[in-house]
Amino acid sequence: MARLAGKIALITGAARGQGAAAARRYVEEGARVVVADVADADGARLAADLGDAAVYRHLDVSAEDDWAAAVADAVRGLGGLDILVNNAGVLHFSAIEETRLADYERVIGVNQVGTFLGMRAVIPEMTRRGGGSIINVSSIEGLAGMPYLVAYSASKFAIRGMTKVAATELGDRGIRVNSVHPGMIETQMVYDAAGGPDADLSWAGKKVPLRRIGRPEEIAELAVFLGSDESSYCTGAEFVADGGATATHAFNLS
């Protein structure tokens, strides 16, 4: 039997990268999926490729009204909502003294505020259905700091904390809340931040025990596990997929 049979999921930032990989795996495992993003052309194309099991919804995760409409669409169009994957995120590199307030607020607005709004928006429907799973995508930068990522790290640490608060508040409703902490993953967002599609990321892979960067599909597998009943006793936890990056420390960067 498919691991997500009968479940309805909303995945943000699902037009490409980790979100798109998760949407594909969710459909393969029997779920129906709301593909949510601001990249309308890519998102609509993915939903069309996935067939009747997926619909596309424009969703700016930093906008309250967009969240209300997205959840209403899931309930009205697909029949409910069992899983939220808060995956949408943006990345910004700059030294602290060179970080403009507007850039800091943009990262916080998408990554941190977007996660908060998403959790808040789905609670009533998940409560009505007797439970659900919220999967918040943080980062290894939500476990330890990295130079030039002050806004990103702040937002990812916040996601980690909000996850634990939500898990303690929502456990008695059968709603599980966990965070996922990827290391460097081969996505367009990372390539864009590194300078473009031809950027060389091999140096990063050499810094971790597995000697490579990760693939979006590997993070999608974690999202499947956390959305499924296989993780029925997991809540408030941190799930790391980083090639071993957090197993070491700065003196072992060879």
Q: Would you name the residues annotated as active-site residues? A: 152
The span from the CA of 64 to the CA of 46, in Å, is: 25
Q: Give yes or no for a contact between 132 and 110, defined as CB atoms under 8 angstroms apart.
A: no
Of the CA atoms within 13 Å of residue 36, those in its CB half-sphere come to 29
Q: Pick from 152, 187, 192: which is nearest to 18 by CA? A: 187
Angle at 72 between CA 69 and CA 73, to 5 degrees: 85
Q: How many CB atoms are located within 10 Å of the residue 16 CB?
A: 18
